[in-house]
């Protein structure tokens, strides 16, 4: 965003674009973590009810960790 657009945005909204970006990235990061923790909770609940085995829990967490790390890295890069 060039300086004219940045100044116009700040004048119209009262918020600096950098601050808005930080808020949006923080909200998206929190959403990613909440969904990931919910999925881990579901895996543990299924393990406790003997619906899946320990190896399946580990595989599920490993498969979940890859996209979570990629999404958080992408958000940090923005």
pLDDT (tens digit, 9 = 90+) per residue, 36-52?
A: 999 999 999 999 999 99
- From residue 74, how far is each of 49, 67, 71 by CA, in Å? 35, 10, 5
Confidence of residue 32 (pLDDT cuts 50, 70, 90): very high
Whether the predicted pLDDT of 3 surpasses 90: no
Q: Is the pLDDT of residue 1 over 80?
A: no
The position carrying tokens 């674009």 is 17
What is the pTM for the complete model shown?
0.80
Average pLDDT score, the chain = 92
């Amino acid at each position: 965003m060039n300086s004219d657009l940045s100044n116009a945005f700040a004048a119209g909204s009262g918020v600096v674009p950098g601050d808005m970006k930080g808020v949006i990235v923080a909200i998206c990061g929190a959403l990613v973590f909440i969904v990931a923790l919910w999925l881990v909770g579901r895996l543990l609940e299924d393990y406790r009810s003997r619906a899946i085995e320990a190896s399946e829990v580990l595989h599920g967490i490993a498969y979940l960790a890859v996209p979570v790390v990629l999404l958080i890295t992408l958000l940090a890069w923005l």
